[in-house]
A and B are shown apart, each in its own frame.
Chain A
Amino acid sequence: MSPEGTDFLYPFIEADEHDVGALLSDLAASATGKAAESARLRDLTLEALRTDLDEAGRALADRFVAGARLYTFGNGGSSTDAASMAALFGQAPSGVALPARSLVADQAVLTAIGNDVGYELTFSRQLIAFANAPDIAMGYSTSGNSENVIRAFEEAKRRDLLTVGFAGYEGGQMAACDALDHCFIVRSHSVHRIQETQAALSYRLWETVQDCLAPGGERPEPHGLRLEPEEAR
Chain B
Amino acid sequence: MDHTSSGPAVNPGPDAADLAAASLAMARRFAAGATLWCASPAWPSHAQHVAVEFVHPVIVGKRALPAVTVGGDHPLESLRQLARSGDVLLLVSRSDEPAAAALPQRARAWGLLTIWIGAGPRPEPGAADYVLWVDEDETISSYGGRFVLLYHLLWELTHVCFEHPGLLKPELAECTEEVCITCSDEGRLGEIVAVRADGQAQVRTPAGLEAVDTTLIDDARPGDLVLIHAGAAVTIVEGSA
Contacts and interface: CB of A to CB of B under 8 A. Distances in A.
Contact of B16 (A29, A76, A196): A29
Nearest to A194: B58
Contacts of A79: 48
Contacts of B16: 27-29, 31-32, 35
B179 interface: no
A53 B234 CA distance: 60
B45 A80 contact: yes
Interface in A82-134: 83-84, 87-88, 93, 102
A12 B49 CA distance: 30
A15 B155 CA distance: 22
Contacts, number: 128
A36 B12 contact: yes
B45 A87 contact: yes
Contacts of B141: 88, 93, 203, 206
Interface string A1-36: 000000000001111111110011111111110111
Given A14-B166, A17-B164, A76-B52, A36 B145 contact: no
Interface in B32-63: 43-46, 48-49, 52-53, 56, 58-59
A88 B10 CA distance: 27
A16 B89 CA distance: 28
Nearest to A13: B163
Interface in B1-48: 10, 12-14, 16-17, 19-21, 23-24, 43-46, 48
A80 B144 CA distance: 11
A38 interface: yes
Interface string B121-163: 0000000000000000001111011001100110111001101
Contacts of B52: 76-77, 80
Interface string A30-56: 111011101100100000000000000
A36 B13 contact: yes
Interface of B is mostly: helix
B161 A27 contact: yes
Contacts of A36: 12-13
Contacts of B207: none
Contacts of B12: 35-36, 38-39
Interface residues of B, number: 42
A34 B43 contact: no
Contact of B164 (A23, A30, A42, A200): A23
B20 A34 contact: no
A184 to B, nearest CB: 14
Nearest to B48: A80
A28 B140 contact: no
Nearest to B120: A233
B166 A84 contact: no
Contact of B148 (A12, A17, A195): A195
A30 B160 contact: yes
Nearest to A93: B140
A191 interface: yes
B46 A31 contact: no
Given A39-B12, A76-B52, A192-B156, A200 B45 contact: no
B128 to A, nearest CB: 18
Shortest beta-carbon contacts, A-B, top 3: A35-B13, A17-B166, A199-B145
